[in-house]
Amino acid sequence: MIDLLLFRTALRDLVRARRLFWVGAFTLLVPVLAFVICRYLHPESRTWVYNNLAGTMVFGFVMVILAVLFATGALTQELEQRTIVYLLTRPVSRWRILLARFLAASLMATSAAWIAIIGLALVTVGVHHFGEVHLGRDLLILPVAALAYSGIFLFLAALTGKALVPLVVGLLYGFLWESLIPQLPGNFKLMSLMSYVHILAPHNLDSTSAQPNGAAGLLLASSSSTYTITHTVAWTVLITVIVVSLTASLAVFSVREYVPREEAG
């Protein structure tokens, strides 16, 4: 009962006008972009538009940025508004407080990403042709990916206890690291979470097709990955990341002090 109350309160806290504006903007960006692109393409290319935008924009951008916003906000909002003291001085285990907030954050990130991808499917292939794209599979993998990313960003927030640091680090990780690492030669892609997500929800975004020509292309080709990520490996890695990052977040939150420094007099 208390867990449900904590979850509901966290959901209400996360739905703030300022945050909702950005969430709405990111969520609607994909269908709007798809609408604009589809106007200039042949109707038969619409599946291609869905796959490209689902892979790059929904999974690679919207879901990640929503996970950053909600997962870091799940903790840092309480720290910023300095109301965390009320939660930490009640007879409820700290890990239960954070778990409820994590689940609320993941639900919010997933819901918004679902809206984005359903909107994308509606605009590109229409409701009668959902079967032409793997919408069901994408809807299933999005929450898994959101949980994994949210776990990592929540851990950053729990570790630093600050609002800005996990947000900046989260954005750098989500976009710089996750964009660059899979492009590097060899098995570097194994260090990117998105590589595993794309195995479970492929959208025909084969990075080798985008490799540069000339000397750089030869270098990448000669040192291309020697390891193929299977479905089993992808599931195992994602679930491990969720469990480990969440456990670490809960452990840190249970023992760390969260008193604002300026109030420590």
Partner 1 sequence: MITLERASRWYGQVVALNDVSCSVGKGITALLGPNGAGKSTLLKLVTGQIRTTTGNVRVLNLAPFANSAVYKRLGYVPELESAYEEQTGRQFVTFMAALAGIPGPERNSRVAAALEKVAITAAADRKMGGYSKGMRQRVKVAQAIVHDPEVLILDEPLNGLDPVGRRDIGNILIEHAAAGKCIVISSHILHEVEHLTRNILLLHKGRLLAQGDIYTIRALIDKHPHKVQLECGKARQLAQTLAGMDSVVSVRIDRANAGLVEIETPHPDRFYADLPGIAEHNDLEITAFHSPDNNLEAVFNYLVHS
Helix %, strand %, coil % of the chain (to 5): 80, 0, 20
Interface with partner 1 (CB under 8 A), residue from 92, 122, 229, 233? 92
Interface with partner 1 (CB under 8 A), residue from 9, 207, 224, 225? 9
Instruction: Report whether 231 contacts 197 (CB < 8 A).
Output: no
Binding mask 154-193 for partner 1 (x = CB under 8 A): ----------------------------------------
Interface with partner 1 (CB under 8 A), residue from 39, 81, 213, 228? 81
CA atoms 180, 184, 190, 191: torsion sign: negative
- Give the residue with the Cβ less far from partner 1, 44 or 263: 263
Q: Is 265 in the site for partner 1 (CB under 8 A)?
A: yes
| Residue 162 Cβ vs partner 1, minimum distance, rounded to whole Å | 16
Of residues 51, 105, 108, the one with CA closest to residue 76: 105
Interface with partner 1 (CB under 8 A), residue from 47, 111, 224, 254? 254
Q: Is 18 in the site for partner 1 (CB under 8 A)?
A: no
Q: Is 226 in the site for partner 1 (CB under 8 A)?
A: no
Interface with partner 1 (CB under 8 A), residue from 127, 210, 215, 264? 264
| Residue 109 Cβ vs partner 1, minimum distance, rounded to whole Å | 21
CA distance 51 to 13: 34
**Per-residue burial over 146-178, b = 16 or more CB atoms within 10 Å of its CB, e = otherwise:** bbbbbbbbbbbbbbbbbbeebbebbbebbeeeb
What is the secondary structure of 70-107 as a DSSP string?
HHHHHHHHHHHTT-HHHHHTSSS-HHHHHHHHHHHHHH
Q: Is 21 in the site for partner 1 (CB under 8 A)?
A: no
Instruction: Report whether 167 contacts 68 (CB < 8 A).
Output: yes
Can you give the binding site for partner 1, defined by CB under 8 A? 1-2, 5-6, 9, 12-13, 81-83, 85-94, 254-255, 257-259, 261, 263-265
